[in-house]
Amino acid sequence: MGEKHNSQGFEDGFWWSNDGLRLHYRDYPGRGDRPPILCFPGLTRNARDFEGLAERLAGEWRIIAVELRGRGESAYAKDSMSYVPLTYLQDVEALIAHLKLDRFIAFGTSLGGILTMLLAAAEGDHIVGALLNDVGPELDSAGLARIRGYVGRSASFATWMHAARATAEANRDVYPDYGVEDWLRMAKRLYSLTSTGRITLDYDMKIAEPFRVPGNEAGPDMWRAYDRLQGCPLLIVRGETSDIFPASVAARMVERNADAELVVVPRTGHAPTLEEPEAVAGIDRLLARVEARLSAATA
């Protein structure tokens, strides 16, 4: 399906899932001699999470910010039990085929990182670099319990400032240094304005149904999937106070992969936005490593 252009520096693209859902992505243009960066957001998030990253890198790198089924402008699924990682994997494989991508860099936050690892297991030869943001092959049960406590609970507000206050109340421990403008920006990524003039969360509440079943938050053997990322530059980003991604798991990931670099974002929980100075510097190093590896391969 074609794309429509807008004034925000990206084109809205659409593709079809195997079960007939019209799914959406943002396509920020970049240099054609470099592989594009596919960005996969977290459980309740959407393409807007990568606005800061795209604004910084677009022009130099093509950024494709994906909206999984049931989020943002992607269609909601009729079957709520299709809101699981293996179905998301099939959706992304359909996008890769639609865009005719033979190589790409994968950036994944939380659920998007799980998807990145599954994609490496299925399409590993196409991935030439990867970023896993606050996620690994093992997840902390305390963090999962916290997420299960809020996902799927609808909320509606009359003004953006009300939405920002609610966002602050729910996430103050994650981002203790945020001010009003930060919370307002985050709210505008989490919520959308409906046709009735109310501001509501921008995802299908039914994504919570399979997530509440233990075991549905990841694939069957994530360490094996993670190991398929060996051989390409890898950046692992961890929030210092993350309750999802234990420091011990991050250390084990670095031990298992000689191409992995770990960056810890201080005073931040789950998950970093990738706009923090530590994450920005790490991303620049990752992309430089990808370029150097590709140049060496063609020399």
**Residues 142-164: tens digit of each pLDDT:** 999 889 888 999 989 999 999 99
Among residues 64, 152, 73, 166, the alpha carbon closest in space to that of 112 is found at: 64
Q: What is the mean pLDDT of residues 284-289?
A: 98
Q: Please tell me the total count of domains within the chain.
A: 1
Place of tokens 């999937």: 225
Residue 249 lies in a domain: yes
Give the pLDDT of residue 6.
56
Chain-centre distance for alpha carbon 163: 22
Check whether 4 has a pLDDT greater than 60.
no
How many beta carbons lie within 10 A of that of residue 229, not counting itself?
26
41, HSE (Cβ side, Cα atoms, 13 Å)? 27
Chain-centre distance for alpha carbon 298: 30
Asked if 289 and 129 touch (Cβ cutoff 8 Å), the reply is yes
Write the CATH number for 219.
3.40.50.1820
Among residues 170, 130, 184, the alpha carbon closest in space to that of 270 is found at: 170
Q: How far apart are CA 288 and CA 112, in angstroms?
A: 22
Residue 186 lies in a domain: no
Residue 171 lies in a domain: no
The three-class DSSP label of residue 127 is strand
Q: What percent of the chain has pLDDT over 70?
A: 95
Buried b / exposed e over 123-142, threshold 16 CB at 10 Å, is: bbebbbbbbbbbbbbbbbee
Residue 263 lies in a domain: yes
The three-class DSSP label of residue 236 is strand
Bridge partners for 71 per DSSP = 203
263: phi then psi, degrees, rounded to nearest 5 = -120, 130
Q: How far apart are CA 134 and CA 143, in angstroms?
A: 11
Residue 294 lies in a domain: yes
Q: How far apart are CA 46 and CA 191, in angstroms?
A: 10
**Residues 34-86: tens digit of each pLDDT:** 999 999 999 999 999 999 999 999 999 999 999 999 999 999 999 999 999 99
Residue 155 lies in a domain: no
Residue 158 lies in a domain: no
Asked if 74 and 24 touch (Cβ cutoff 8 Å), the reply is yes
Asked if 267 and 240 touch (Cβ cutoff 8 Å), the reply is yes
Asked if 130 and 229 touch (Cβ cutoff 8 Å), the reply is yes
Residue 175 lies in a domain: no
What is the pTM assigned to this prediction? 0.95
Q: How far apart are CA 77 and CA 193, in angstroms?
A: 21
pLDDT confidence bin for 124, thresholds 50/70/90: confident
Q: How far apart are CA 262 and CA 269, in angstroms?
A: 15
The three-class DSSP label of residue 88 is helix
Domain span including residue 268: 3-150+207-298
